[in-house]
């Protein structure tokens, strides 16, 4: 099945205006809106509650199983601060909202966030964590950064996205297929073996790239990788990227 309307992912640091933009976009386009933090709770996609981080941890597999069916149809807006879990073949535009630090600080403070949570989010905004994740996960051509400081910004952003949708439709008169390509299905069938092979290949490539790579460093990086796998996404704060964190 081809989708004849695009899927738009609206992302950015908590408080930058994802939900506000997404609601206005929904009014303009009459698309389905998936505010993931809310949907995860409604549909029971919460894996656990992280007491330390004071946030719910979303079960990404369950979420993706649900979203895949919806995204294949097209015409969806996704509102979430996590942008790197959706398959590229199902996403047509990634809007990364950014907000000046002092404005973001005031918005988070107004929500009653604790100081460490505010600081964490401001740091993530300064380091452009979510933008980096978006660039690593999708073709740069579909990643758009838009400022979200004022109401005027929001109006203009929503208008721009509306125009982009019109152009997308002109450029894709036959729509776009979101079906899994054969390679993807095969690698899923291979399961863990396939993943292991991929890891081995990656390791080989790394070794080729770095001539002076000694064993101690290798040990360290393996430990880091294990730690990274254990980390989960947060609902309302954006810690340094899993990929960036070293
Ligand atoms: N461009 C903007 N101009 C003025 N106010 C804004 C703008 N964007 C967001 N706000 C305000 O900032 C607050 C946070 O916005 P919003 O809830 O849309 O952020 P969010 O990115 O969805 O946050 P979260 O990730 O926590 O869900 C709201 O009070 C909203 O009205
Ligand atoms: Mg929101």
Q: How far apart are CA 169 and CA 5, in angstroms?
A: 7
3-state secondary structure of 12: strand
Q: Identify the segments of the chain with pLDDT beneath 70.
A: 53, 181-246
Residue 50 has a pLDDT of 79
pTM for this model (two decimals): 0.79
Ligand 1 center to residue 17 CA distance, Å? 3
Residue pair 21/157 in contact by the 8 Å Cβ criterion: yes
pLDDT at position 136, please? Answer: 97
Instruction: Give me the pLDDT at residue 145, please.
Output: 98
Angle of the 18-29 helix axis to the 151-171 helix axis, nearest 10: 50
Closest CA to 40 of 75, 81, 96: 81
Alpha carbon 39 to its chain centroid, in Å, reads 15
81 lines ligand 1 (CB under 6 A): yes
Tell which one of 107, 111, 238 to mutate to probe ligand 1, the residue whose CB is within 8 A of the most ligand atoms.
107
Residue 212: what pLDDT?
A: 47
The pLDDT score that the predictor gives to residue 143 is 98
Return phi, psi of residue 2, to 5°: -90, 145
Question: Per residue in 60-73, pLDDT tens?
Answer: 999 999 999 999 99
Q: What is the CA radius of gyration of the chain?
A: 19
Q: Express each pLDDT in 136-175 by its tens digit.
A: 999 999 999 999 999 999 999 999 999 999 999 999 999 9
* Closest of 122, 132, 97 to residue 242, by C-alpha: 132
What pLDDT, on a 0 to 100 scale, did the predictor assign at position 51?
76
pLDDT for 193 equals 52
Nearest CA to ligand 1 atom 10: 17
Q: How far is the CA of 59 from the centre of ligand 1 (A)?
A: 25
**How far does residue 199's CA lie from ligand 2's centre (Å)?**
35
Percent of the chain with pLDDT over 90: 67
Alpha helices, H only, 89-181: 101-110, 115-126, 129-137, 151-171
């Amino acid at each position: 099945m081809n989708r004849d309307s695009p899927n738009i992912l609206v992302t950015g640091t908590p408080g930058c205006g994802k939900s506000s933009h997404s609601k206005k976009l929904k009014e303009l386009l009459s698309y389905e809106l998936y505010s993931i933090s809310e949907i995860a709770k409604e549909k029971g996609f919460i894996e656990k509650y992280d007491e330390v981080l004071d946030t719910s941890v979303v079960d990404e597999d369950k979420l993706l199983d649900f979203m895949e069916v919806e995204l294949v149809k097209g015409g969806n807006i996704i509102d979430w601060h996590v942008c790197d879990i959706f398959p590229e073949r199902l996403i047509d535009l990634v809007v990364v909202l950014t907000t000046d630090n002092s404005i973001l600080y005031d918005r988070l403070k107004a929500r009653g966030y604790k100081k460490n949570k505010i600081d964490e989010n401001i740091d993530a905004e300064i380091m452009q964590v979510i933008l980096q994740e978006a660039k690593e996960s999708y073709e740069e051509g579909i990643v758009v950064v838009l400022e979200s400081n004022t109401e005027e910004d929001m109006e203009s952003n929503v208008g721009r996205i509306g125009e982009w949708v019109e152009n997308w439709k002109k450029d894709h008169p036959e729509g776009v297929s979101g079906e899994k390509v054969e390679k993807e299905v095969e690698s899923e069938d291979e399961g863990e073996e396939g993943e292991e092979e991929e890891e081995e290949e990656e390791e080989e490539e790394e070794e080729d790239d770095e001539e002076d790579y000694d064993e101690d460093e290798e040990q360290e990086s393996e430990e880091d990788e294990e730690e990274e796998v254990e980390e989960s996404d947060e609902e309302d704060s954006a810690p340094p990227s899993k990929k960036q964190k070293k």
